[in-house]
Amino acid sequence: MMSSSSRPILEVSGLNKWFGAMHALRDVDLTVGAGERIVVCGPSGSGKSTMVRCINALERYQKGLIRLEGEAINPDCDSVLGARRAIGMVFQAFNLFPHLSILDNITLGPRKLLRLSRPDAESAAMILLSQVRMEDQARKMPSQLSGGQQQRAAIARALAMNPKLMLFDEPTSALDPEMVKEVLDVMTALAEAGTTMICVTHEMGFAKAVADRIVFMDQGKIVETADPTAFFAGDCCDRARSFVGTTTSGQA
């Protein structure tokens, strides 16, 4: 019992990634245990998206190892589709399928990959939609919804595959300010329900309330890993401190 619950869901070790000559990730190490909630922050271009995309095997990497429950993840290995299926991803731009209704967006994966029948997939999807408070929008098309609603639907779509780990890449950055809260509320509820998640965000209020650990990245490196209390107490390196200073003053 003890050993299985302490086995990490995700292990990233010595991860290096280049875009041509540009060294985007430098020796990134990160271990995420079951039920852990990690918030990743850092200045623009620091490699946050790149790290998350490597974890989900959307990008190739040149050095290091990423393991999901012990299994190596790499875009070129056969198990990559299974790994992606086991990891839910929420994008900044929502990326809902515009030709499908919200319900079909959510049931597509379960029906085609998990081989659920349509009624089964739809009843499961309706439960997820009620979790993201969208049950009355099931039959609508994505373009009929607000950004906040689309992002909540996208969260439901990722959850429908029963992922072991959820990745969020700046899920609220493309939203109008009044819709940010409805998405953060859904994410907070997920966190409280024990979902393992890595969340790239600049929402420091969310980080403070939800994160078990905050990871601060700069120039492709993880320069700081701290729990929220220590992080916001400025109990860390100068760069992180000035970053926290700019984001919180920017919000005030």
Partner 1 sequence: MTAVVNSSRVERSPAIAQLRRRLAWARANLFARPIDVLLTSTIAAAAVALLWAIVPWAFIDAVWVGENRAACRPDAACWAFIVNRGGQFLYGFYPQPERWRVNAVFLIFAVSVFLLLRRDTPGKRVVAFFLLLVFPILGYVLLHGGVAGLSRVTTDKWGGLSLTLLLGVAGIVVSFPIAIVLALGRQSEMPLFRWASIAYIEICRGLPLIAVLFMARILLPYAFPVGSEFDPLALAVTGIILFESAYLAEVFRGGFQAIPKGQAEAAAAIGFGYWRTAIYVTLPQMLRVVVPGVVNNAIALVKNTTLVVILGLFEVLNIVAAGAADPDWLGLHAEGYVFVGLVFWGLCFAMSRYSQSLERELKAAERS
Ligand X SMILES: Nc1ncnc2c1ncn2[C@@H]1O[C@H](COP(=O)(O)OP(=O)(O)OP(=O)(O)O)[C@@H](O)[C@H]1O
Which residues would be at the binding site for partner 1 (CB under 8 A)?
Answer: 56, 58, 81-82, 84-89, 91, 93, 95-99, 108-109, 112-113, 141, 143-144, 154, 157-158, 161
Q: Least CB distance from residue 157 to partner 1, whole Å?
A: 7
Among 46, 107, 149, 150, binds ligand X (CB under 6 A): 46
Q: Residue 166 is encoded by which pair of tokens?
A: 């959820």
Q: Least CB distance from residue 184 to Mg ion, whole Å?
A: 18
CB atoms < 10 A from the CB of 71, how many? 12
Nearer to partner 1, 32 or 158 (CB): 158
Which of 100, 95, 102 has its CA nearest to residue 139? 102
Site membership for ligand X, residue 196 (CB under 6 A) = no
Out of partner 1, Mg ion, ligand X, none, what residue 19 binds, judged by CB under 5 to 8 A for its kind, is: ligand X
Which of 187, 185, 205 has its CA nearest to residue 196? 187
Nearer to partner 1, 125 or 207 (CB): 125
Nearer to partner 1, 143 or 249 (CB): 143
> How far, CA to CA in Å, does 27 sit from each of 5, 30, 115, 177, 222?
27, 10, 39, 35, 8
Out of partner 1, Mg ion, ligand X, none, what residue 93 binds, judged by CB under 5 to 8 A for its kind, is: partner 1
> How far, CA to CA in Å, does 216 sit from each of 39, 134, 199?
8, 33, 12
DSSP, collapsed to helix, strand or coil, labels residue 77 as coil
Output DSSP code: residue 206: H
Out of Mg ion, partner 1, ligand X, none, what residue 99 binds, judged by CB under 5 to 8 A for its kind, is: partner 1
